[in-house]
């Protein structure tokens, strides 16, 4: 789907009462609309989305159809850098449940993966598995590095867990292909935060958790703010 079509879906989402009835709605819409419009008009591309090291993930939430491209080589590079710190900032070690039917889950969040993906740019030496959260209620996880190694980690006769690394939400946009993908991901995550919490959290308290108001570090690092 073209960026301009997705932008129209975003404009329609502002009519959701979960967003429209918030006290911060005027600022939320004005700032996100300006940022997303600017990103949609940009021709900048951080990497070649046709490269073998790129994993394409299609995802829909609340009437918004997204297509995200993850740079697996950059994920590997950032993982090496993050591992050199005393405490990991970008990649957090987690354990996912593995059902006898083959499904993966993290608390209430399902986790999708495709063992058939060739992932030809990945080396066989370390076989790290990395997941990213996608906007949904509850968030849906997606293996974005190491899909082909997931099944080999399990013994079918045992109830085991899968150890992997989960990318902190703020840093997921670091691995996406365009300014629009960066903004779209963070906007959809803000939408999720609002939908999940608006009925039980005061507007002034909820506002401080939204990526557009904090703002998310990736918006600054990518030069979008």
In whole angstroms, give the CA distance from residue 194 to residue 114.
Answer: 30
Range with the lowest mean pLDDT among 124-128, 153-157, 184-188?
153-157
Read off the pLDDT of residues 162-187 as tens digits, 9 standing for 90 and up: 899 999 999 999 999 999 999 999 99
For strand 161-167 and strand 130-134, is the pairing parallel, antiparallel, or unpaired?
Answer: parallel
The pLDDT confidence band at residue 42, using thresholds 50, 70 and 90, is: very high
**pLDDT the model gives residue 158:** 66
Average pLDDT over residues 127-147: 96
**pLDDT the model gives residue 157:** 65
**pLDDT the model gives residue 159:** 60
156 pLDDT above the threshold of 90: no
In whole angstroms, give the CA distance from residue 5 to residue 168.
Answer: 28
Say how many Å lie between the first and final Cα of the chain, rounded: 25
Site of tokens 């600017």: 38
* 87: three-class secondary structure by DSSP: coil
């Amino acid at each position: 789907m073209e960026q301009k079509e997705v932008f129209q879906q975003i404009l329609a989402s502002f009519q959701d009462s979960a967003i429209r009835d918030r006290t911060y709605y005027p600022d939320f819409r004005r700032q996100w609309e300006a940022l997303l419009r600017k990103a949609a008009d940009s021709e900048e591309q951080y990497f070649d989305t046709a490269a073998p090291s790129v994993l394409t993930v299609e995802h829909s939430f609340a009437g918004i159809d997204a297509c995200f491209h993850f740079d697996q080589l950059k994920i590997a590079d950032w993982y090496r850098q993050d591992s050199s710190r005393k405490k990991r900032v970008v990649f957090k070690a987690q354990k996912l449940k593995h059902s006898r039917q083959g499904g993966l889950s993290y608390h209430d969040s399902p986790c999708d993966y495709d063992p058939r993906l060739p992932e030809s740019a990945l080396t066989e030496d370390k076989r790290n598995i990395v997941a990213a959260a996608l906007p949904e209620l509850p968030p849906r996880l997606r293996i974005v590095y190491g899909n082909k190694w997931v099944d080999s980690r399990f013994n079918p006769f045992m109830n085991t867990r899968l150890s992997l690394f989960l990318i902190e939400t703020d840093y997921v946009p670091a691995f996406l292909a365009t300014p629009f993908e960066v903004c779209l991901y963070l906007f959809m995550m803000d939408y999720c935060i609002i939908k999940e919490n608006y009925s039980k959290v005061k507007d002034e308290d909820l506002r401080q958790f939204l990526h557009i108001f904090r703002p998310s570090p990736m918006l600054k690092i990518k030069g979008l703010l």
